[in-house]
Amino acid sequence: MKKNHNNTDLHMHSTASDGGYRPEVLLQKCKEVGLEYIALTDHDTTSGVKEAIETGRKLGITVIPGIEFSTKYNGKSVHILGYGLDYNNEELCEMLKGQQEMRRKRLDVILVKLKDVGLDVTAEDVLEFVDGGSIGRPHVAKALIKRGYVNDVAEAFEKYLAEGRPCYVPKEKEMAPEEALNWIKRMNGVSIIAHPVYYDLDDWIETLVVDYGLDGVEVYHRDHTTEDRKHYEQLVQQIEEKHNISLLKTGGSDFHHEDYGRVPEPLGITRLDNYFAEQLVTKIHKKSR
């Protein structure tokens, strides 16, 4: 019988940001569905990476340390994935601590806006769902569900928390994509633009590659259709041929929990050939030399 090598997922979240499971529990779930390579890419924090790596060693899963930086470009939210970076670096940790503080201030403003529309939610209600990491709008959504104001996270965003809705609050200072790329480079990491179908910025991706050292594109995200995947495969190939360079293609489930996403799915549905993880690990080792 031919062995299945499609056991890689390079994009997932834990309770260190807005995921539903602690890193240890998340890794146990990864083991149950047969994943062999995973990357923990929490939003603006690496606080769950150590626990994930230690659990992965016990379970026989290779954990690639990662992060998903939240940035803004021309008014659009753009996420940049960083892999293999020095997550214990003091300078990086200090910067990320500042990001957490801004998220806490943002929460206070969101709570005021919720009160203005008649929804009584306290900081304690929200922090109940935060496991010492990044505070995000999904945590607010969970508090709204517990209070009985909405039925699920999707409804919370649609009515109150999404951009353009009455309780949306932008971050105090949005990091530019170039700044995130610079941090990843300084930490000897590998940079990938996440789920590019969200942005419609194909020409700009080439600029990030040529001018700022972007290492690749998340081609195989779970929200990418077959046509989207073919499109980004071709885009990567065009950039490579035009500039005589080699780029990485990555992908993953962007798993937070079973009810998350445009089309919710359980862990283990979106998965890649192990080749993609091995290519990423090889690139990380080259950067760290």
pLDDT top residue among 259 and 92: 92
Domain 8-87+174-288: which CATH class? alpha beta
pLDDT at 2: 43
Instruction: Select the CATH number that applies to the domain covering 96-161 from these four: 1.10.150.650, 2.40.50.140, 3.50.50.60, 1.20.1250.20.
Output: 1.10.150.650
Question: Is 265 in a helix, a strand, or coil?
Answer: coil
Q: Report the mean per-residue pLDDT for the chain.
A: 93
Buried b (16+ CB within 10 A) or exposed e, 47-75: bbbebbbebbeebebbbbbbbbbbbebee
Evaluate if residue 114 carries a pLDDT over 70. yes
Distance CA 219, CA 252 (A): 9
What average pLDDT does this structure show over 55-59? 98
pLDDT at 102: 87
What residues are paired with 70 via a beta bridge? 79
Of 22-36, 37-51, 122-136, 175-189, which gets the smallest average pLDDT? 122-136
Tokens at residue 35, please? 């994943």
Report residue 75: phi and psi, to 5°. 85, -5
Render pLDDT for 124-158 as a digit per residue (tens, 0 to 9): 999 988 876 778 898 999 999 999 999 988 899 99
Angle at CA of residue 102, ends 97 and 104, nearest 5°: 95
pLDDT top residue among 208 and 264: 208
Share of the chain above pLDDT 70, in %: 98
Evaluate if residue 120 carries a pLDDT over 60. yes
Domain ranges within the chain, ordered by starting residue: 8-87+174-288, 96-161
What average pLDDT does this structure show over 61-80? 94
Distance CA 60, CA 36 (A): 7
Render pLDDT for 193-246 as a digit per residue (tens, 0 to 9): 999 999 989 999 999 999 999 999 999 999 999 999 999 999 999 999 999 999
pLDDT at 3: 57
What residues are paired with 250 via a beta bridge? 218
Angle at CA of residue 252, ends 247 and 255, nearest 5°: 150
What average pLDDT does this structure show over 161-189? 92
Quote the pTM value.
Answer: 0.90
Render pLDDT for 42-51 as a digit per residue (tens, 0 to 9): 999 999 999 9
Evaluate if residue 77 carries a pLDDT over 80. yes
pLDDT top residue among 270 and 172: 270
**Of residues 221, 239, 234, 244, the one with CA closest to residue 12:** 221
| CA-based radius of gyration for the chain | 19
pLDDT grade, residue 4 (50/70/90)? low
In what helix (H) or strand (E) does residue 64 lie, and over which residues does it extend? strand 62-73
Of 12-16, 130-134, 180-184, which gets the smallest average pLDDT? 130-134
Helix ranges (H only) for 20-152 are 23-32, 49-59, 90-116, 123-127, 137-147
What average pLDDT does this structure show over 95-123? 93
The pairing of beta strand 62-73 with beta strand 8-12: unpaired
What average pLDDT does this structure show over 187-193? 97
Report residue 221: phi and psi, to 5°. -70, 150
Evaluate if residue 168 carries a pLDDT over 80. yes
